[in-house]
Amino acid sequence: MLLHTPTMRTVPWTRPSDKAYTLTWMSWAALLCSEILDAWVHQVPPIIWVGKVLPLLIFLPGMVKNNLRSYIWLCFVSLLYFIALVERLVARPENTVAAVGLLAVVTLFIAAMLFVRWRAREIKAAAEAGESE
């Protein structure tokens, strides 16, 4: 199947998709940590914790399996975080946690988008090479 590649990692950093993959995971973790820290600092109720963290955790199983559709949907959901973080920064420009979260969400969106694009091309090229043999 074109959108599912369970075994991808062989030699790290040899392809552009490897770099985007690593950057996606790093920015996902940074965004998750910034959302947890923001909820903890503001002592929000548990239901708000769930609303801040669950949308990111939903994609974790698909990301672990390298399911490209999970990364595509993660890009869409990250736009909601982008909107919330921009609003938070406009209201309180001195909020460092929101600034770090905004940097993480922008990086996440770009890295995940590039990962999907480059990895899909690699899968397609490998499938075409397999058919021509």
Q: Write out the DSSP string of the chain.
A: -TTB-S---SSTTSSHHHHHHHHHHHHHHHHHHHHHHHHHHTT--HHHHHHHHHHHHTTHHHHHTTBHHHHHHHHHHHHHHHHHHHHHHHH-TT-HHHHHHHHHHHHHHHHHHHHHHHHHHHHHHHHHHHHH-
Q: Is residue 25 a part of any domain in this protein?
A: yes
Which token pair is 32? 């998750």
Report the number of distinct structural domains present in the chain.
1
pLDDT recorded at residue 2: 47
Q: Is residue 48 a part of any domain in this protein?
A: yes
Q: Is residue 5 a part of any domain in this protein?
A: no
Q: Is residue 4 a part of any domain in this protein?
A: no
* Chain segment 81-113, per-residue pLDDT in tens: 999 999 999 999 999 999 999 999 999 999 999
Q: What backbone phi and psi angles, to 5 degrees, belong to 2? A: -65, -35
Domain that holds residue 49: 16-132
Q: Is residue 1 a part of any domain in this protein?
A: no
pLDDT recorded at residue 129: 82
As beta bridge partners, residue 67 has 4
Q: Is the pLDDT of residue 14 over 90?
A: no
Q: Is residue 7 a part of any domain in this protein?
A: no
The reported pTM is 0.85
Q: Is residue 81 a part of any domain in this protein?
A: yes
Q: Is residue 84 a part of any domain in this protein?
A: yes
Which token pair is 118? 């480059």
* Chain segment 38-77, per-residue pLDDT in tens: 999 999 999 999 999 999 999 999 999 999 999 999 999 9
